[in-house]
């Protein structure tokens, strides 16, 4: 299933549902609580119920709505993984902005982005909020946790996954460097575009086969396979759940690949009017313009 949260263009009403093959949305929730309906669906663990009840539900054309972030208000900060592709780890370590000693980390580097950084497809990334004018892009695969998980082994980890989503881990490089940690430089409002939908895990036979691509102003900047992750998804889930409980609706941004703006000489930062698209097969394309 491709699960969406949306706003109707004419009425402004919120809704949630799933997208059919002919680009119709089967409306499964509507009204002011729709922005939480997908979280409720994830917590229930019965996404199939939406399909089973589809005959009794209305449909609306995808062209008649504006898709928003599928989880507009995450339950807590997004868990993020730094330096999780080999080539990017070397790229970032050599940029002068890496405060760690190792080029390739021996263990997953975990940080977070504030929930208030989330925005949706076609929303404007407010680059003007960055006083240092060092806005960078990081296309990533996001993993949505589907059930409460504590001390999960790698062999069990994929059973905890509800689905996948495109994420752009937008970053102020100078704020990241200035504060010697990553929360402030990555949590500016609108610096976590997400969407356009959640692809449920049952639609993905092998997550390692998924391909990530980031395009800036029509130029391909990033191309990678999820199989190239240094620490794969089972390892990330095992690591996070070893000492804390993961909750239904938690989001893990698995890391970005080589080709970010800081890797160029001089750096290719994002400016006003630039357009960034992150796409993964099955997860659609997440496009945003910088303002």
Residues 106 and 29 occupy one common structural domain: no
Q: What percent of the chain has pLDDT over 70?
A: 95
pLDDT beyond 80 at 48:
no
pLDDT score of 86: 81
The count of domains in the chain is 2
Contact predicate 88/139, CB 8 Å: no
Q: What CATH code is carried by the domain that includes residue 131?
A: 3.90.850.10
Residues 164 and 50 occupy one common structural domain: no
**Is 73 inside a domain boundary?**
no
Three-class SS state of 160? helix
Query: Rounded CA gap, 285 and 194, in Å?
Result: 10
Residues 63 and 85 occupy one common structural domain: no
Average pLDDT estimate for 237-252: 98
Neighbours of 258 (CB within 10 A): 18
Residues 60 and 135 occupy one common structural domain: no
Domain that holds residue 210: 78-290
Q: Over the stretch 174-209, which tens digit does the pLDDT of each residue have?
A: 999 999 889 999 999 999 999 999 999 999 999 999
Nearest to 6 by CA among 39, 42, 30: 30
For the chain, where are the E strands, in sequence order?
A: 2-8, 14-19, 24-30, 59-61, 65-68, 78-82, 109-113, 118-119, 124-125, 135-136, 139-145, 161-168, 171-172, 192-200, 211-216, 219-225, 251-256, 275-280, 284-290
Q: Is 11 exposed, middle or buried (0-12, 13-18, 19+ CB in 10 A)?
A: exposed
Q: Is 48 exposed, middle or buried (0-12, 13-18, 19+ CB in 10 A)?
A: exposed
pTM: 0.95
Residues 89 and 211 occupy one common structural domain: yes
Q: Over the stretch 94-127, which tens digit does the pLDDT of each residue have?
A: 777 767 767 788 999 999 999 999 999 999 999 9
Residue for token pair 């009794």: 56
Domain boundary (68, 89, 110) is at 68
Domain boundary (15, 46, 68) is at 68
Contact predicate 33/15, CB 8 Å: no
Residues 14 and 139 occupy one common structural domain: no
Residues 64 and 82 occupy one common structural domain: no
């Amino acid at each position: 299933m491709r699960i969406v949260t949306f706003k109707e263009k004419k009425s402004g009403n919120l809704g949630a549902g799933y997208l059919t093959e002919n680009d119709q949305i089967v409306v499964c929730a509507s009204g002011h609580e729709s922005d939480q309906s997908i979280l409720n669906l994830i917590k229930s663990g019965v996404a199939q119920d939406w399909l089973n009840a589809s005959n009794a539900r209305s449909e609306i054309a995808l062209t008649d709505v504006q898709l928003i972030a599928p989880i507009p208000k995450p339950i807590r900060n997004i868990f993020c993984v730094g330096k999780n592709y080999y080539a990017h780890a070397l790229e970032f370590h050599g940029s002068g902005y890496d405060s760690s000693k190792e080029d390739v980390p021996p263990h997953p580097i975990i940080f977070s982005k504030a929930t208030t950084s989330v925005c949706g497809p076609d929303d404007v990334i407010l680059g003007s909020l960055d006083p240092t004018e060092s806005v960078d892009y990081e296309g990533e695969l996001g993993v949505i946790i589907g059930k409460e998980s504590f001390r999960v082994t790698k062999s069990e980890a994929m059973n905890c996954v509800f689905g996948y989503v495109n994420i752009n881990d937008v970053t102020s490089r100078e704020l990241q460097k200035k504060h010697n940690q990553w929360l402030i430089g990555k949590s500016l409002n609108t610096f976590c575009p997400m969407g356009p939908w959640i692809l449920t895990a049952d639609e993905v036979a092998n997550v390692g086969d998924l391909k990530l691509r980031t395009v800036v102003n029509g130029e391909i900047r990033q191309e990678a396979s999820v199989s190239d992750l240094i620490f794969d998804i089972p390892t990330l889930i095992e690591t996070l759940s070893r000492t804390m409980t993961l909750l239904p609706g938690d989001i893990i941004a698995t890391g970005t690949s080589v080709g970010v703006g800081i890797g160029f000489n001089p750096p290719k930062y994002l400016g006003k009017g630039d357009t960034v698209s992150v796409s993964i097969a099955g997860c659609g394309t997440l496009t945003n313009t910088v303002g």
